[in-house]
Chains A and B, each alone.
Chain A
Amino acid sequence: MDAVEKANAERQRRWVKDQKVGEGTYAVVYRGRELATGRKIAIKKIKVGQFKDGLDMSAVREVKYLRELQHPNIIELLDVFSSKTNLNLVLEFLDTDLEMIIKDRSLVFLPADIKSWMAMTFRGLEFCHRNFILHRDLKPNNLLIASDGQLKIADFGLARDAADPGYKMTCQVITRWYRPPELLFGCRYYSTAVDIWSVGCIFAELMLRIPYLPGESDMDQLKTIFRALGTPTDEEWPGHTKLPDYVSVGQFPRTPLRDLFTAASGDTLNLLSKCIIFEPRKRISARDALYHPYFFALPYPTHPSKLPKTAAQTAAASRPPDEVDGNVDPGGGAPAGVGKAAPPKKLKRKLSGHDLSRNIARKLDFTAS
């Protein structure tokens, strides 16, 4: 084993992989823990498959940004290591996400709770935008919640650097209900404002407890938006009729937000309205949002630790740490059929042994020549 493999094996040995907890588009997610401390972690194993088409673009984007971004409101990538034919991302373990919390009917949200989640979202997003990174997939499901209540922006599989002006980007991004009208009209030159629209939709969803603009198709999404906010005039949004995929979906009158959000304060509605302005350039920036009077008015944001928790979170938090971790002996006690928590000895052997699935060696294979 050379120095590089040794370093990798050492990193790998720091982490124990337990049972599978989820599956994403390009990765399988396992629960795990840090061997030395028992700290809960998630291991995201990127499927490389049989090396057919190379690494998925989402995987490249995700590792690229998570390796650079360190912020309390962005999911933390603790380590990376490779096993046989997989890249493994070691992430902080996050118990739940904002979607599950919104859907949990047993929970009651106070305005101060919503303010707290919004502040954490804007803080994480401001950090992304400050570094010229567009997230391009903000939705409640991608805002994960740590056991201490901190909200973390996750899933950077669609993120990219804000392109140079004049450089085209795809408009096929952001889950439909959270997608801004300029993307629905096929705009290929866009900015950080696309994420702000998504945050606006999330803000509204936190108050309504159901998705604010649930379109059934891309076309219906535009209708849904205009039904809620009125069809934009050329004055409100100059030039939008010239966008590549512009279609007229009918004239809808503007209804005041107040009609739907009856209980919201004036500051709340003011900030919400600034997030969902049609003209992208007029939409509020993440930085300005953080200075919006909403965040300085009463009630003040709830402390993260006091935010509403789902039953699962409460259960996890009330158990002592080693029980939470399953306290699995790194040789035996892993749940049946999962058994991924290999003993260090076995890992070592696996790494140094010849692996038939390798077509080329990282190093030249001198035995073959």
Chain B
Amino acid sequence: MATDFWASSHNKRWIIDRASLKQARSEDLRYVESPEHVDFLNIYFANLIAMLGKRLTLRQRVIATATVFFRRFYVKNLYCETDPFIVIAACCYVAAKAEESPVHIKNVVSESRLMFSQEGYGVKNFPSDNSKLAEMEFYLVSDLECDLVVFHPYRTLLTLCGREAAHAVVSEAGEVGVGIDNGPRYWGTGEGRLELEEGPLQTAWHVIPPPPSTLHSTLLRPKTDQIRALNRFIINDTYRSELCLLYPPHMIAIAAIYLTLVLNDKTREAIQAQTASSTPTPTPRRSSRTNTSSVHRKLAAAPQQQQDFVGFMAGLRVSLPTVAMIAQEILSLYTLWERYSDAAPESGLGQSAVGDTAGDDVVTPAFLTQLLLRMREARLADLAHPASAQPMAVNKRLERTQAAG
């Protein structure tokens, strides 16, 4: 199903409006202290899918599909009433089948157990029994209403940026479709392609898998600022948010190109200078702050600087305000992500401390696992005593933040 996005189940049933998405998360929001905790959970779970996917040697596209399945499942389900870890495993398992690279159920179970039981995640009870995962697969496929074809931004990006420019990087990811030139794609004619150098293209689309050593350290060791900067390729990053439920993939691709062009040269220089100079003990928060704000400045200044780029965007005949909105959302994802750390926590330290810090501090996987458990317990209490069911108190911090501005 490579061509007709408009006729697809993706377009017809799985692009939802913001209000429905908000509604889907409203119950979960009652059990968190700050709404951004739910956004952190969104990042956390997408990271887990990516990491499990890499352990299972799934291609990037399969990982992306698994993530979309996960998002769709939680349009209909609550974090606080389900076990997201087994849902994650099921998403990887089904996506692998749906994308024609099946993995054995046993492998999925054992890799999931291995990964989730790592100290940083603190998930102790992942079932060892294949049948549990198979059963979750059934609920997942039911809730997905058997819609297993997912469109991704990659192809649009490839086509918009031109085959030549893209080819070198693309072939490694195996994303070139048979007959990619055979007729128009759903977003348009491919006329007036944008010429991109390889550098920015990689920013918009991370296709070169990091070498095994990097991969290893990315997965298992604290991320250094450098790896962080290198791995932050926009399209893959968008899966950390719920954008894939809100916008057609080609719009996300165009927003990624937009951001890439905006972020190009100066910003990249700045990033490079930063990572070069701050290698020993990087302070992720501060350095990336600088990034983000310079990005914001650049974004504001962009239209005047990039004349041909404006012409290109206009030629696409898509809603530019929407593109800008998606781009803004990607940037706010980054802002949030700066405060997320999947560094392996030093035994026991941190988790409890982070639990009661102000919204500004670094959030870790262990904290988020604990958060999920607390949400679950509170939900259980509410369901056990429906009469007295009250939104969990708190939200003081939220009120304070809001009062502050």
Contacts and interface: CB of A to CB of B under 8 A. Distances in A.
Contacts of A130: 3, 183
Interface in A350-369: 358-360, 362-364, 366, 369
Nearest to B170: A164
Interface in A36-62: 48, 50-55, 57, 60
A147 interface: no
B362 to A, nearest CB: 29
B78 to A, nearest CB: 8
Contact of A52 (B2, B130, B143): B130
Nearest to A83: B142
Interface in B142-199: 142-143, 145-149, 171, 174-179, 183
Interface residues of B, number: 53
Interface string B78-90: 0001110010000
Interface stretch (A63-71, A242-250, A292-300, A301-309): A63-71
B222 interface: no
B134 to A, nearest CB: 4
Nearest to B75: A4
Contact of A364 (B105, B176, B179, B376): B376
B2 A358 contact: no
Contacts of B131: 50-52, 359
Nearest to B136: A360
Contact of A360 (B132, B147, B175, B177): B132
B132 A359 contact: yes
Contacts of B1: 65, 68, 131-133, 161
Given A130-B3, A132-B2, A360 B127 contact: yes
B324 interface: no
B149 A67 contact: yes
A362 B139 contact: yes
Interface string B383-399: 11000000000000000
B138 interface: yes
A53 B129 CA distance: 11
A165 B176 contact: yes
A271 interface: no
A289 to B, nearest CB: 16
A85 B178 contact: no
Given A53-B134, A68-B7, A364-B83, 17 more contacts: A51-B134, A51-B138, A52-B131, A55-B137, A55-B141, A82-B142, A132-B3, A132-B179, A133-B1, A161-B2, A162-B179, A163-B178, A358-B135, A359-B135, A360-B83, A366-B380, A369-B380
20 contacts: A48-B138, A51-B130, A51-B137, A52-B131, A54-B97, A54-B133, A55-B94, A60-B148, A64-B148, A68-B8, A161-B100, A163-B100, A164-B177, A166-B171, A358-B135, A359-B129, A360-B136, A362-B82, A363-B77, A366-B384
Interface of A: 3-4, 8, 48, 50-55, 57, 60, 63-65, 67-68, 70, 80, 82, 85, 87, 89, 130-133, 160-167, 191, 358-360, 362-364, 366, 369
